[in-house]
Amino acid sequence: MTGFSHSPRIMAIINATPDSFSDGGKHKNLNDAVNWALQLAEEGADILDIGGESSRPFSEPVRVDEELSRVIPLIKSIRQKTNLPISIDTTKAEVAKEAIFAGANMINDISALRFDPIMAETVAQHQLPVVIMHMLGTPKTMQKSPYYEDVILDILNFFDERVSFALSQGIDKHNILLDPGIGFGKTTEHNLKILNHLDQFKKTGFPLLIGLSRKAFLGTITGEKEPSNRDIETLCANIWAIMKGADILRVHNVRQCKKAIQIIDAIKKEMVTDGSA
């Protein structure tokens, strides 16, 4: 086990969508959404991840103009209130570009630069951090009987190809982060195997983002059907991810995650003082 070698950063999920699986439509009003983002910042978020297109299983893609109308006013308004890093969760180069102009500092692309032929060029042009995530198929198809020869090896091979592509397009190595895509074309067993072998992804040398907040596989394990009631499950799995070396945790409940990290940091400090680290 990697151990508590560092404190992970918290990426707060802000869905400007009517249909996301956990909090879709919760903050329809722009002022409400901005205030929610500022509350998450106050609770300890290190990054605000804003998305305007749901990626829940079987979801349909949205038009570029619709996605822009959801995220750009929100990013502009948040940027006027805080200097906290803002991530744009999108697979569309035009949305990423406009989000950057509005104040975003990072691109979180669940397609790993595959869905839009000019996304890599856009990332390279602006030289901002980009999250390359593994997904089997598309959100609409990813949960239709996902299959792997070896889920860990298959994802590692995917990352190797995608990182090579990113570098070939001029994206700086130091701007690349990896996300194994828990819940994106994976069964419960696949997700658990990924969590158990996060150290294999750490060996790539790239920062590791883990997004498992409130996901269905957690409810499959505990029997909790309501996503918003899965925060305890999320916390337990995230503590495991921290132990395995996760660098960023993407969560809905920032306050709870922050408290867990504070406790872990306190224990780690005692271990160093005691000489048992």
Handedness of CA 212, 217, 218, 224 (dihedral sign): positive
**Any catalytic annotation for residue 215?**
yes
In a domain, 131, yes or no: yes
In a domain, 76, yes or no: yes
* Number of domains forming the structure of the chain: 1
In a domain, 262, yes or no: no
Calpha distance 96→106 (Å, rounded)? 9
Report whether pLDDT(24) > 50: no
Q: In what order do the strands lie in the sheet with 248-251?
A: 176-179, 130-133, 106-109, 86-89, 47-51, 9-15, 248-251, 209-210
Banded pLDDT at 25 (limits 50, 70, 90):
low
Chain segment 179-212, per-residue pLDDT in tens: 999 999 999 999 999 999 999 999 999 999 999 9
Run of H or E residues at 15: strand 9-15
Residue 51 sits in a domain whose CATH number is: 3.20.20.20
In a domain, 70, yes or no: yes
In a domain, 273, yes or no: no
**Any catalytic annotation for residue 97?**
no
Chain segment 73-127, per-residue pLDDT in tens: 999 999 999 999 999 999 999 999 999 999 999 999 999 999 999 999 999 999 9
In a domain, 183, yes or no: yes
Write down the catalytic residue from 215, 230, 244, 258: 215
Write down the catalytic residue from 9, 202, 214, 250: 250
Domain range for residue 38? 9-211+242-251
In a domain, 30, yes or no: yes
In a domain, 120, yes or no: yes
Q: Tokens standing for 201?
A: 């992804």
Residue with token string 């960023």:
248
